[in-house]
Amino acid sequence: MASLGMSEAERDAIAGFERDVIEPSMTGLVLLQFTATWCGPCKQLSPILDKVAADYAAKGVLLKRIDVDQEKMIADQFRIQSVPTVYAMFQGQPVADLTQFRTEAQIGKAIDQLLAQLPGKAEAQDLKAEVEPLIAMAESVLAEGDATRAATIFAQVQVIDPGNPEVIGGLVRAVIGEGKPDEARILLDALDEEAGKHPAIARARTALDLASAPVADVSGEEARIAANPDDHEARFAIANARLAAGDRDGAAEELLTIIGRDPAWNEGAARARLLQMLEAAGFDDPWGRSIRRRLSALLFT
């Protein structure tokens, strides 16, 4: 879409359309629904499309909506005469008009037929098969403590599959492991809202939050603990300091001690911080599994 002579609002609308519809359609199927707030049939169709999109999300199908009143220019580009109008988009182009289909079964059948015919499906599967073992290798290297090598592997995989959130999340955690939180923050800030919702990115953000705690001198808190082992505020500060210094074992020990003595202290702050650490470590991490067992023993026995 040409942008010469357009207003700033129109240019923003086009940029949003390219980001939210065109770019995702280069590798997957995008259902594009033209709708309006005053349209009764649109209100009936929208929840059906929501359900279908959720059912097919694992196959790379996305649903995007265009309000013809708010984004008139986009609607005009598609020569929309009535709403609802629903197109299937692939590689930047409409490949099917799904407007006639109004039931979940009809829309699902049409999507199945499109997915079977779309070019690039085999390539996407080949890419996944190529990338998955590389991600596993990088995760293994990172778990072994070699953050620099892991970051190198993740960066190489990102060249092959630049939009993969598992790759980006792994790279962020590796960079954090190298002691470069500012670089990790730049990587996360560059992500769009949709990518930011992925569990791998959430895990990376948690890791960055934990790593961003300032390293502090807690000699005073250690003296307080020596005098009063139930000074949970001092012990919590020590845990945070251990964590900031990269000593997750030491941090976990302090947090587990607080939980064992008073699990409800400060509205469960120790448990919440320990759960953050476990999220950052990942469910399959051996250290995390060990800590989960100890946490469960404290809470449920």
Active-site residues, by number, are: 39, 42
Euclidean distance between CA atoms 204 and 28, whole angstroms:
25
Nearest alpha-carbon partner for 204 in 151, 156, 250, 251: 151
The maximal CA–CA distance of the chain, rounded, in angstroms, is 78
CA dist 102 to 16, 105, 228, 232, 299, Å? 27, 9, 68, 60, 50
Tokens of 182: 């500012």
Q: For residue 87, report the phi and psi dihedrals to the nearest 5 degrees.
A: -115, 150
DSSP, collapsed to helix, strand or coil, labels residue 62 as strand
Which residues make Cβ contacts (< 8 Å) with residue 124, sequence separation at least 6?
27, 60
Q: Which of 114, 87, 94 is nearest to 33 (CA)?
A: 87
